[in-house]
Structure 1
């Protein structure tokens, strides 16, 4: 191996401590640094310093996410075929909307893939029936409703890749307070919860005094309501990070067609594959949409031709590698 190749391999290698920290935060995004430090066997200052560095360079963000499936709200996966000179602007405009996530450019930059979660039926109709059809440079629109999540959402992907042991995972996994568990709060977000959820959507690690100021509620009331919302599954605390931090550099959308009787078994099998970051049943020409993430193109090929290709019930797979990710959970410059 030449010196340049050796240097590249070194640069691509993920930092072991970063991966441990990411998995700890995936297990409990609001865990105190002291708790994470105790489990990882380092000082509080080491955890705080590394966390702040990752946040400051744009590699990490922690936010609250509404679980639209648990809340019974519609979600759509959009595939917008665009003229090449318009795709980037269209992706950027969609990314600025609060009801979108997981936006990327695929198919050589001629297709925008976007998950949208309209808050109301009026918002949904306005986007799907009015705005997008009238947008210049869009030449084809496919909207597939998401029917059932096999993997993703509150299921942390690093549980498939992370280095932490079972004892460390158990020590870090967030547990709802006994009061929240007893309350068995319904899976809904009340109008008076909106300031609290909005503040957490900006910063999932906002302190209780900060949340008190944002909501006008007492600190004890904020603690109780946040615990109830998380315990009910209405929201969860998620982490957004650059895939390069864990040594994975290639992402691709997979549009999978199965026989109807194979839909559930194939979806559950995909959920167990380390390469799959998200998988959901959808309505449309294909009936499963999944996101695969691998170290490089040869690893993607090996997955497609091997594990996925041998999966019983899979009839057809359309693969669209990401050229660029425009938005994950939030709109900001995102590092792969």
Structure 2
């Protein structure tokens, strides 16, 4: 649980900078922000120690030969907490949210590609879990909004400041990496350990990553750079949208006519309320996470922004009760109810 924190202008600028380059040295970020390095360091460590801000390393599943699924699970009300805790403890889950109403939860699950088993073993096991009444798994075909950060937290830096941070990051990665080497090739157990540590702390020290992988510090730097420049690895800032004035989170399932997909998804990518959206399999071909100031603002978004888009048919909306897990790995084991089941 995060402590009570209010973000000021410097905090927001720092978070935006970290979204642009999660592993940038704080000295470099301080130069862009025009603030003393010690001040920026204190701000970052204050937010990090209060569990308000965390940089996490994430793998692009499509480039690593993996599939992402949004899974909706309908279960008995007394099974929700146990199932949520069990799912949160898994390395292949993220974005876990029990929904308001008490008998449904949604999560993202990462599985091997369809050519392997497409997650069938996990989905079959979930379907047989006591308390689970039904589940629906929709495969992510293409993310269309929110990739690279929710616009609600990436508007604090001026364009010139953003360009400077990006130019430094690209120059460093291209200098250190071999662009001809496929970042997903020759994936090893050491790579898995590296990614596991970065999923917990994207700013982990190189010496700590070297100890975990068994590589030298220079090899760690080159491997991270190679994975980044090939698009396999990117870094995301994990922060509660409520701190940016958007405490109401809603999940949307939109039935969109195939001919309208490009128009609808292109428009969603420009909506500041949309934290993430993707085209998926299933009757509702577009899934979106929306952040709003309050339920009135959510109504306005549905009625005016979405309502103005042609090609959208049936729309289903659900309010998130809480987030049990976001993008990164679970930092500490959640207190599991005594009847928690392993899934």
TM-score by length of 1: 0.89
Q: How many angstroms apart in 2 are the aligned matches of 1:133 and 1:217?
A: 41
CA contact (8 A) 2:94 2:325 kept: yes
| 1:3-42 to 2 correspondences below 5 Å | 14-42=7-35
Alpha-carbon displacement from aligned partner over 1:177-231 (angstroms, at most 9, x marks no partner): 3345652332415114223222222221112222222222222222111100010
Q: Does 1:117 align with 2:110?
A: yes
| 1:23-102 to 2 correspondences below 5 Å | 23-102=16-95
Please report how far the alpha carbon of residue 90 of structure 1 lies from its aligned counterpart in structure 2 after TM superposition: 1.0
CA contact (8 A) 1:14 1:244 kept: no
Please report how far the alpha carbon of residue 240 of structure 1 lies from its aligned counterpart in structure 2 after TM superposition: 0.6
CA contact (8 A) 1:13 1:247 kept: no
Against the structure 1 CA distance between its residues 219 and 161, is the aligned structure 2 distance closer, same or farther, given a 3 Å change threshold?
A: closer
CA contact (8 A) 1:279 1:289 kept: yes
CA contact (8 A) 2:32 2:165 kept: yes
Q: How many angstroms apart in 2 are the aligned matches of 1:104 and 1:240?
A: 15
Please report how far the alpha carbon of residue 157 of structure 1 lies from its aligned counterpart in structure 2 after TM superposition: 1.5
Partner of 1:168: 161
Bigger helix share:
1
Q: How many angstroms apart in 1 are the aligned matches of 2:54 and 2:110?
A: 21
CA contact (8 A) 2:183 2:226 kept: no
CA contact (8 A) 1:185 1:231 kept: no
CA contact (8 A) 2:140 2:280 kept: yes
Partner of 2:140: 146
| 1:279-294 to 2 correspondences below 5 Å | 279-294=277-292
Q: How many angstroms apart in 2 are the aligned matches of 1:218 and 1:14?
A: 38
CA contact (8 A) 2:146 2:276 kept: yes
Against the structure 1 CA distance between its residues 13 and 216, is the aligned structure 2 distance closer, same or farther, given a 3 Å change threshold?
A: closer
Alpha-carbon displacement from aligned partner over 1:115-171 (angstroms, at most 9, x marks no partner): 000247458122111x21111221111111111111234x22247752210011112
Q: How many angstroms apart in 2 are the aligned matches of 1:185 and 1:247?
A: 43
- Which structure 2 residue ranges, 5 or more long, are not aligned? 334-343
Partner of 2:121: 126
TM-score by length of 2: 0.88
Q: How many angstroms apart in 2 are the aligned matches of 1:297 and 1:141?
A: 27
Partner of 1:331: 330
Instruction: State the SS of the aligned residue for 1:88.
Output: helix
CA contact (8 A) 1:184 1:231 kept: no
- Which structure 1 residue ranges, 5 or more long, are not aligned? 1-10
Q: CA RMSD in A?
A: 2.1
Instruction: State the SS of the aligned residue for 1:75.
Output: strand
Partner of 2:299: 301
CA contact (8 A) 1:180 1:231 kept: no
Against the structure 1 CA distance between its residues 146 and 242, is the aligned structure 2 distance closer, same or farther, given a 3 Å change threshold?
A: same
Please report how far the alpha carbon of residue 14 of structure 1 lies from its aligned counterpart in structure 2 after TM superposition: 4.2
Q: How many angstroms apart in 1 are the aligned matches of 2:152 and 2:240?
A: 16
Instruction: State the SS of the aligned residue for 2:215.
Output: coil
Q: How many angstroms apart in 2 are the aligned matches of 1:139 and 1:149?
A: 29
1:276 aligned to 266, 274, 277, which one?
A: 274
Partner of 1:238: 236
Against the structure 1 CA distance between its residues 159 and 24, is the aligned structure 2 distance closer, same or farther, given a 3 Å change threshold?
A: farther
Partner of 2:205: 207
